[in-house]
């Protein structure tokens, strides 16, 4: 039997929970963003290389892969910054731009790195593999889903981070990837996998990718903040963010804060097995075709607090599978289960428990679930 703390239906204001919020902020949270931010502000080297000086044209036609890689490879061992000025730089995602340790890739706001069409089920635009102290800032990363010449596969990545430490990605717009806009995970498979640690992602937009806006595999310490994951569609699961290490390894100490998951063909956020210590706070989950937030399989120690979950196709928040030690507190939920409309005069329309279940559902297989202090939209706001 699952254990659930039942709650009342609130139709006006959310109940203030200052004591609970303070307690939750002190439990199970890692301050992982500090090392990455500190490194980003103080690079190990003052060396700066402009990709134009290595032959990159940025004309939207010429293949600039070799020139950009040459700029990266020319940095000294102590590192430095590679600058990408305004322009459209075509790159071959089958060869990839491969970053190295102790470097910053700095794109101008109107610089675009765009993938040339390919037919492969798997490709990587930017690889951050087995390196330390890397930052990627600014500009646009555009995949090749529009010109892709193959039909199968789902593994065309914009930014792919594997087995790396102290990585900071900020102010980047990622779109139109054949697979995921971004992947953060491990090199190898358990028990020999090397997870990524201390990864900070902030102020990014990942939109109109085929598989996910962002996928998270085996990691220890990831913070995603002030970012938008939208309009994912093309191949399952089609979520905004999917935490899915499963058999590859373990994912732990993940914070998702002040993010927006909107208009994804799948769910806003999915949390799967082999995951622990996840905090989702101050986020907005709206108009996703699936669930707003779904915990399934067997994640543990998941805190879902102070989020807005409105107008999703299935239940706003579903705690399913063998999820355990899940706390849902102070969230605003309404107008969910839009794919299952009901008439306003149906007998179920006035049933409080039914209203709650369409907004927040807890499956019998889940255990140690606390749902309290959540606010539900008035009945007239969610009926169809």
pLDDT at 165: 98
For position 30, what pLDDT does the model report?
A: 31
Query: What integer pLDDT is reported at residue 211 of this predicted model?
Result: 98
Q: Which domains does the chain have, with CATH numbers?
A: 31-266 (2.160.20.10)
Task: Please count the residues of the chain.
Answer: 384
pLDDT at 16: 34
Residue 65 has what DSSP assignment? H
Walk along the chain (384 residues) and give the pLDDT tens digit of each residue. Answer: 444 544 433 332 333 333 333 333 333 333 333 334 434 444 557 999 999 999 999 999 999 999 999 999 999 999 999 999 999 999 999 999 999 999 999 999 999 999 999 999 999 999 999 999 999 999 999 999 999 999 999 999 999 999 999 999 999 999 999 999 999 999 999 999 999 999 999 999 999 999 999 999 999 999 999 999 999 999 999 999 999 999 999 999 999 999 999 999 999 999 999 999 999 999 999 999 999 999 999 999 999 999 999 999 999 999 999 999 999 999 999 999 988 765 555 445 445 555 577 899 999 999 999 999 999 876 444 444
Distance CA 88, CA 227 (A): 24
Is this model's pTM higher than 0.75 or not?
Answer: yes
| Structure-token pair, residue 37 | 């931010």
Peptide bond into 313 cis (omega under 30): no
Check residue 51 and give its pLDDT. Answer: 98
- pLDDT for position 148: 97
To which H or E segment does residue 270 belong?
strand 269-271
Nearest to 337 by CA among 318, 324, 363, 353: 318
d(CA 73, CA 359): 52
Query: For position 15, what pLDDT does the model report?
Result: 32
Inter-residue contact 185 to 212 (CB < 8 Å): no
State residue 339's pLDDT score.
82
């Amino acid at each position: 039997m699952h254990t659930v703390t039942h709650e009342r239906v609130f139709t006006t204001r959310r109940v203030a929970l200052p004591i609970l919020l303070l307690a939750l902020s002190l439990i199970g949270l890692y301050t992982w963003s500090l090392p990455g931010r500190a490194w980003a502000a103080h690079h190990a080297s003052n060396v700066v290389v402009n990709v134009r000086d290595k032959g990159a044209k940025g004309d939207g036609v010429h293949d600039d892969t070799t020139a950009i890689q040459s700029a990266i490879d020319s940095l000294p061992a102590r590192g430095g910054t590679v600058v990408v000025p305004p322009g459209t730089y075509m790159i071959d995602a089958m060869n990839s731009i491969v970053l190295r340790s102790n470097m910053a890739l700095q794109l101008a706001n109107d610089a675009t790195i765009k993938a040339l069409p390919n037919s492969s089920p798997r490709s990587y635009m930017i690889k951050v593999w087995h390196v330390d102290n890397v930052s990627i800032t600014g500009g646009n990363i555009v995949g090749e889903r529009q010109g892709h010449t193959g039909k199968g596969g789902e593994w065309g990545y914009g930014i792919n981070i594997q087995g790396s430490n102290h990585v900071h990605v900020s102010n980047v717009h990622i779109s139109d990837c054949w697979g995921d806009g971004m992947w953060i995970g491990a090199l190898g498979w358990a028990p020999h996998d090397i997870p990524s640690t201390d990864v900070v992602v902030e102020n990014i937009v990942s939109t109109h990718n085929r598989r996910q806006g962002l996928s998270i595999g085996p990691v220890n310490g990831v913070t995603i903040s002030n970012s938008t994951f939208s309009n994912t569609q093309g191949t399952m699961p089609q979520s905004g963010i999917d935490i899915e290490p499963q058999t590859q390894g373990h994912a732990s100490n993940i914070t998702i804060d002040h993010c927006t998951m909107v208009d994804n063909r799948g769910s806003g956020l999915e949390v799967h097995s082999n995951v622990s210590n996840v905090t989702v706070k101050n986020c907005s989950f709206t108009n996703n075709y699936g669930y707003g937030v779904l915990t399934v399989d067997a994640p543990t120690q998941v805190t879902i607090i102070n989020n807005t979950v409105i107008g999703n196709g299935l239940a706003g928040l579903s705690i399913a599978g063998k999820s355990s030690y899940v706390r849902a507190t102070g969230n605003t939920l309404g107008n969910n289960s839009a794919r299952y409309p009901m008439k306003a005069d149906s007998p179920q329309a006035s049933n409080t428990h039914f209203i709650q279940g369409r907004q927040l559902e807890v499956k019998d297989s889940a255990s140690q679930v606390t749902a309290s202090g959540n606010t539900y939209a008035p009945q007239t706001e969610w009926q169809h």
